[in-house]
Amino acid sequence: MNIPVVKVKDVEKVYGKKGSNQSHALKGVSFSILEGEFVGIMGPSGTGKTTLLNDISTLDKATNGVVQIAGTDITKMKQGELSDFRSQKLGFIFQDFNLLENLSIYENIALPLSLQGAASRKIKSKVNKVAEMLGISEILSKYPSEVSGGQKQRSAAARALVHDPAIILGDEPTGALDSKNAVSMLEAMKSLNEEQGVSIMMVTHDAFSASYCQRILFIQDGELYKEIRNTTTRENFYREILDVLADLGTHKS
């Protein structure tokens, strides 16, 4: 259980050429996410959350430091290797769903396995399994334009999960949902984490969404500012998150 699925050590991200006006988006960030954890990343806008997510998701590369996912140091991998690694080891849930409109929900969910050349029998079994887990079995034959926002986001979660990734990375996954669908999505993610042992890292600005996490890492000015863990009820954890966010608003680096 205590195996790090993500290990970030002394990660720096610098934009701009040496000798010019450089911007340090990340300044020596270090932390680990263990298998089966649900971890939130929070902080003010422009503080490094998205940069950190991009460096972990292989969409960008850290200037210095080490990023390990499932024991593999992705900072030493070439672009072609990163693409394969991303498709096999990472699952993504985006704010805007990123479903392909010309594919059915079934085909959207199946896409990661199809790209890996999996057999159709295996694809069908896996798609049906994750669809049942997320309560969307009845919409598999429909197209994204025919389903609700909440159903789209559950479909995106199913696509993220279907190939058994090492970790699911969520980028504001409830940002485009109304409050009812947001709660439904968060409950689904919590269930996947607690009942299926799925590891999740979620970037969010929303304290309510963050209260579903087990642990929150707060980033301020490119550095790890504080870490809190839920040791009580979700309601108390929510209030604790709000207190830290209030401190962040008045904290000067």
pLDDT at 253: 43
Residue 160 Cα to chain centre, angstroms: 10
Of 212, 87, 84, 102, whose CA–CA distance to 159 is shortest?
87
DSSP letter at 32 equals E
10 Å Cβ neighbour count for 180? 9
pLDDT at 11: 96
Spatial separation of the C-alpha atoms in residues 229 and 214, rounded to whole Å: 6
Two structure tokens written together for 82: 């990163």
pLDDT at 250: 60
> pLDDT tens for residues 22-70?
889 999 999 999 999 999 999 988 889 999 999 999 989 999 999 999 9
pLDDT at 79: 85
Residue 210 Cα to chain centre, angstroms: 12
pLDDT at 132: 93
Tell me if 240 sits within 8 A of 208, measured CB to CB: no
10 Å Cβ neighbour count for 18? 6
Give DSSP secondary structure letters for 90-155. Answer: EEEEETT----TTS-HHHHHHHHHHHTT--HHHHHHHHHHHHHHTT-GGGTTS-GGGS-HHHHHHH
10 Å Cβ neighbour count for 10? 13
Two structure tokens written together for 100: 């392909």
Query: Which domains are delineated in the chain?
Result: 37-49+78-215+222-250 (3.40.50.300)
pLDDT at 1: 53
Encode the chain (253 residues) as per-residue pLDDT tens digits. Answer: 578 999 999 999 999 887 778 889 999 999 999 999 999 999 988 889 999 999 999 989 999 999 999 999 999 998 889 988 998 999 999 888 889 999 999 999 999 999 888 999 999 999 999 999 999 999 999 999 999 999 999 999 999 999 999 999 999 999 888 999 999 999 999 999 999 999 999 999 999 999 999 999 999 999 999 999 999 999 999 999 999 999 987 654 4
Two structure tokens written together for 165: 């990734």
197-231 in b/e burial notation, b at 16+ Cβ within 10 A? Answer: ebbbbbbbebbbbbbbbbbbbbbbbbbbbeebebe
